[in-house]
Structure 1
C-alpha cells in the first residue's frame, strides 16, 4: 500500500500490516486529477499546476491539522497503468478505507449542509464503500468547511441512500450527539457503552438484496466497475476483466456470493424493463442492480428463530438448486390449462418490517420432470402476507393486491428443486431430444401492389439480424404486418409438424382472455404489439390445446383496402445439415 506523505508530497510504500496511522480522501473524479505518474516525477513541478492539485494540497493540509503524517488518495496512490496493481487495489480498497483513522469526504459541489443529499458524491458507485467502510467519515464543503460527520448526519444520509442507520452509526446510539461522545477504541463508547466495531462485521448482518439496493441508484464511468465497486461490501475477491461488460461482471459477482452464502434474497429481484413487449430476463440471476429496487418494499434477512438453516441455495453449472417452501399458485391463476403447474417458491427472507411477509417466485414446472422449474413473469415479485393476501409488485413499482377465498399457502411442502434458465432446458436435460431451431428460408411476395408485408416480431426472439433464424423452442410465433393488415404464423416443434396462419381478428379472439389468468399483464389494446406481449408472458404453450381452436396447415385469405385480397400460405419441413436438424419455413404471399 502506498501512502502520500502530507509534508513532502512523496509516495512511501508499506508492506503487510505495518502501516502508520493515515487519513483517506473520498471524492468524485474531475478534470486534471493528479496521477501516480505525476507524483513519481517529483522533480517536475508541472503537475502542481493541474486543477486537481488543490484538492490534494487541501486534503494534506487537513490531515496535518488532525496530526496525521500520511494520507491515501485513489488518484495518485495507485499505478493504474499496471493491471495487476489495479486489481489488487480494488480488491483491497474496502479494507484500506476500513483501516483508516479518518475519511475526508470532499463534497466539492455543496456549500450548505442542507444541500448535502443533492451532491453528485451520492450518485457514484465507488463512494458507497467509501461512505460505509471507514470508522469515521467527515464531510467537507468545496471550501473545506466541515458539514458534519456520518454519525450526526446519519438520518439525512439514510433517507438519501437507503442505507440502514445502524450501518452508518456502527450500531451505536447517536441521537444527534456529536461524534466525540461516541468514541473509544478499547473501552466502551462514552455515550452508550458499546465498543467500536468494524463496519465489515456489521454489514455481514444485512442480506444480499439490501446491499444491492444500496447501490442500485449509483453509477460508474466504466460499466464493469458497477460490479467491482461492491467486492468489499460483499467480502468478495474477484479477478477484474475490463471489457466483459456489466452483465458479465455482475453475474460473476453473484456467482461468487453464492459460493459463500445461502442467502435466498439474491433471488428477490424483478425485471426492471417496464415495456411488456421487450425481452424479459429469462436467467436465474439479476442482470442489473436496478432489478433489486422493489418500490417502497425492501428485503431483509430472516434471522433465527424465524429463518430455517436447512434451506440451502447452491449454484451449479447447469442451474441453481434451491430448498424452499413450495405451494401451488392461487387457483384463480391456474384456471387456464397452460398454468396448471404454476408454483410459488417462498424465499427465506422477509419484506419490510413484518417478519411474516415473505417474497415468493412464480415458477413453472418443466414437462415430465417433478423437480425442475424455470421462473416465469420475472417482471413482478409476489409478496405473501400473513392475512393470506398476495401482493404483486410490477416492474414500474405499481402494486396489485389479490384476494383469495382459500389460504394462499395451499398444501405447502419444503422441497429441494432445480431452477434453470427457461431457454437452457431444451438442449441440456438428459434424456430429452434437443429442440430444433427454425429458419424462414424463403419469404416470397408477388403481385402485392405496394402492400408488402414485413416481419415485425417473433417468439422466441430472433438470433440473427436478418430476422430469419429462431432458437429451438416448443412453439414459434412470427408477426407480419403491412400498412393495412396483419397476420401471425405459428408452428410447433414436435415430430408431427403443424402450422397455423391466423388473422389479427382471430388472434385477438384467441388471446383476449389470457390477461385474466396472468397477473401483472399489460393493457390489451388489440394491436400486434399487444398480442406479442401477451404471447411472451404466456411462455410455453401446450400446442395441442392451442391448435384445437385454430385451423392448421391451411392457407389464409386476408382482405385489404380497396378490394385487395392476399393469399398467405406456408410450407414447413425438417431438414438435416451437417448432422443438425433444422425446421425450414417457407412463407408465400400473393395478391389476388
Structure 2
C-alpha cells in the first residue's frame, strides 16, 4: 500500500504489518485526467506544481497533519496505474483501505459554487464515491474552500434522503459496516448505485466489488460484460434471489432478456426491497454453461408464462406479496426472462410445479429482438399430454431435457428427428406400468405414437424404453403405425379374468397458432370401470387449467 507522508509530501510504500494503523484517506471527484497529480508526476516538482490536483493534495495533507495523521492516501497518486497488477490489487482492496482508515475527508469541489448545496453535489453521482461514503467509520465533508460542512453522522438524514442508503449503514461504527452490508438484500444494495456513473463503463462493476464483498480480475474493454461478471461473483457467495429483482423497460413489450441485469440502473426501483424469509430457505442455484441452473417451483400463468417468486417484497406493500419475474420456455429446459419492464406479484397463491430449469444468463438486445419470432413458434410439432386423473401416476419422461413438466409436453422446435416416451403407472383393479412412446422424422412430417405395457405382447417395446435405447425405440414404435391424422388403437389384458383395454389416440391440433400432436389414452374394464387417462384433448385441458388459475394472474408490482 502506497501512502503519502503528510510532512514531506513524498510517497512511501508499506506492506503487511508495516502498514500504519492510522491514516487519513481522501474522497473526491477527479478533475480532467491531465489536471490530476499522478504517481508518475511525483519526483517532477515542476510538473506536479502546475496541476490543479496538486493543490487539492496539499490541502488534504495539511488538514490530516493538523488532526494528527502522519500518513494519507489519495487514489490519484498512491496507485501506479501503469502497473496493471498493482491497479487490479488496488481496486480489489480499495473498500478495505477505506474501511480501515481513521478518517475519510470528502472534498466536494462544487459545493459553494453558484450556491450549490450538499445534496446537489455531483459527488453523489459518481460510482466510486459510493464505497467511499459507506466504508469508512468516519467521514467528514468539506466544501470547495475546505470549509467544514459536517460529518456523515451529523448529515445522516440529508444523505439518506439523497442516496436511499440505509441509515444503519450511514451511522455504522468502526468495523461494523462489512457485516451490516450482508444483511441488506442484494437488490437494495444495487439500487444505491443505480443513479451513479463512471468514466469507464467497466468501472460501474469494479466500484461495487467491496459493497458485495467479492473480488475479480479487471478486463478493460469488455464493456457491460464486467457487470455480468460481477453478478456471477455475487451468485457464488449468496443465494439471495433479490439479485434478479431488476426491471428494464424496452421498446418491445414482448422483449426477452437473460436473468442477469446489464447495469446497476436496472435496480432503480429496488430501494425498498426486503426479504420475505431468511435466504437459507431459498433454493440453491449456480451459473453453468447452459445458464443459471435452479430447481424450484414456478406457477404457470394463463398466457403460458412461468412466474418465479424471488421471495422478497416491497416494504410499502401491506400484503407482503412476493415479487417475481416472468419466464418463457424456450425448449430444452431453457428459459428466458419475459416482460422485463417491471416486477410482478401474484394476487393469490398459485399452484406451483417444481422443476429444474436453465435460465439464459444474458442476451444482447439485438439478439433478444430476433427471438420474438422464434418464441412465437415454440410449440410447433410438440407432443402434448393432458393431465393424469386419479389412479394414474406420472413416473417419468425421456429425454427429460425436452420435457416441460409444467406444460406436460415434449418441446421439439427445430429438431429434424425426435424420439421419446412418457411412463405411467395405473392403480386399482388393473395395476399396470405402461409407456406412451412418440417421435417423428422429417422435421415433424412423419409422426408416430406407440402404446406399450410391461406385461403383455408389447413388453419388448416397454423394456427397450426402460433401457434408454431411443434409437431402437423409434424402430419398434414406428413399425406399429405412422400417425397422419387421427388414429386410435389399443392393448388388451385380463385382470381377475376380466378384459382390460388401453386405447391410444393422437391427432394434430393447433396450439397458439402452431400444429401440435395431441395424445390421449383410455383404460376400460368390462365391469364399467372407466378410468379416463389423458382423455381430454391437450388444448382443452390447458384452457381449463388457465381458467382455474385466472385469479392468480400476475399483477404489476407497485414501485
TM-score bracket, normalised by the shorter chain, equals: 0.5 to 0.7
- The aligned counterpart of 1:239 is 217
SS of the equivalent of 2:257 reads coil
Cα deviation, 1:264-302, whole Å, max 9, x if unaligned, reads 0011112233x227x83521211111111227x632234
Instruction: Tell me whether 1:358 sits opposite 2:322 in the alignment.
Output: yes
Partners of 1:308 and 1:236 in 2: how far apart? 20
1: CA distance, partners of 2:96 / 2:246: 29
| Structure 1 position 121 matched with structure 2 position 123 | yes
Tell me: CA distance 1:257–1:378, structure 2 relative to 1, closer, same or farther (3 Å): same
For residues 182-219 of structure 1, give each alpha carbon's deviation from its aligned partner in whole angstroms, at most 9, with x where no partner exists: xxxxxxxxxxxxxx443111111111101110001000
| Secondary structure of residue in 1 paired with 2:3 | strand
1:326 to 275, 292, 298: 298
Q: Aligned-pair distance for 1:129? A: 0.4
**TM-aligned CA distance change 1:68 to 1:251, over 3 Å:** same
Question: Is 2:189 the counterpart of 1:227?
Answer: no
Alignment of 1:345 onto 2:348: no
CA contact (8 A) 2:255 2:369 kept: no
SS in 2 for 1:344: strand
Q: Does 1:301 align with 2:288?
A: no
Q: TM-score, normalised by structure 2?
A: 0.63
CA distance in 1, matches of 2:51, 2:36: 7
CA distance in 2, matches of 1:298, 1:350: 8
- SS where residue 117 of structure 2 aligns? helix
Residue 144 and residue 543 in structure 1: after superposition, are their counterparts in 2 closer, same or farther (change >3 A)? farther
Structure 1 unpaired stretches of 5+: 173-195, 389-407, 425-457, 464-469, 477-491, 499-541, 549-592
The separation in 1 between residues aligned to 2:76 and 2:296, in whole angstroms, is 46
Q: Higher Cα Rg: structure 1 or 2? A: 2
Contact 1:284–1:419 under 8 Å retained in 2? no
Deviation at 1:38, TM superposition (A): 1.2
Between 18-27 and 371-380, the greater mean CA deviation after superposition: 371-380
Give the whole-Å Cα distance in 2 for the aligned partners of 1:261 and 1:228. Answer: 18
User: Does the alignment pair 1:151 with 2:91?
Assistant: no
CA distance in 2, matches of 1:417, 1:298: 30
Aligned counterpart for 1:374 among listed residues 320, 336, 342: 336
Q: Residues 115-138 of structure 1: CA distance to partner in whole angstroms, max 9, x if unpaired? A: 111111000000000001001000
* Structure 1 equivalent of residue 2 of structure 2: 2
More contact order relative to length (CA 8 Å, sep ≥ 6): 2
Superposed, which structure 2 residues align to 1:249-264 within 5 Å? Answer: 249-264=226-241
Any idea what SS the aligned residue of 2:213 has?
A: coil
Is contact 2:26–2:104 with CA below 8 Å preserved after alignment? yes
Give the alignment's TM-score, normalised by structure 1: 0.60
Identify which of 132, 135, 141 aligns with 2:134.
132
Hey, what's the Cα distance between the residues in 2 that align with 1:238 and 1:543?
50
Quickly say closer, same or farther: Cα 1:25–1:422, change in 2 above 3 A: closer
Structure 2 counterpart of 1:38: 41
| Secondary structure of residue in 1 paired with 2:41 | helix
Work out whether residues 311 and 348 of structure 1, in 8 Å CA contact, stay in contact via their aligned partners in 2.
no
After superposition, the Cα gap between the structure-2 partners of 1:212 and 1:46, relative to the gap in structure 1 and judged at 3 Å, is same
Give, in whole Å, the separation in 1 of the partners of 2:101 and 2:368. Answer: 53
Separation (CA, whole Å) in 2 of partners of 1:229 and 1:56? 22
2:256–2:339 CA contact under 8 A, matched in 1 = no
Taking structure 1 as reference, are residues 319 and 547 closer, same or farther at Cα in structure 2, changes over 3 Å only? closer
- Whether 1:290 and 2:265 are equivalent positions in the alignment is yes
1:98 is paired with a residue whose SS is: helix
SS in 1 for 2:283: coil
* Alignment length (residue pairs): 385
After superposition, the CA RMSD in angstroms is 3.1
Give the CA deviation at 1:473.
Answer: 6.5
Counterparts in 2 of 1:366 and 1:248: CA distance versus 1, 3 Å: closer
Is 1:91 the counterpart of 2:92 in the alignment?
yes
Structure 2 distance, partners of 1:459, 1:141, is: 48
Quote the residue 1:394 is aligned against.
none
Instruction: Map 1:470-509 to 2 at 5 A.
Output: 475=377
Residue 192 of structure 2 is aligned to residue 214 of structure 1: yes
Instruction: Report the equivalent of 1:66.
Output: 67
Unaligned runs of 5+ in 2: 379-412, 416-441, 446-508, 516-559
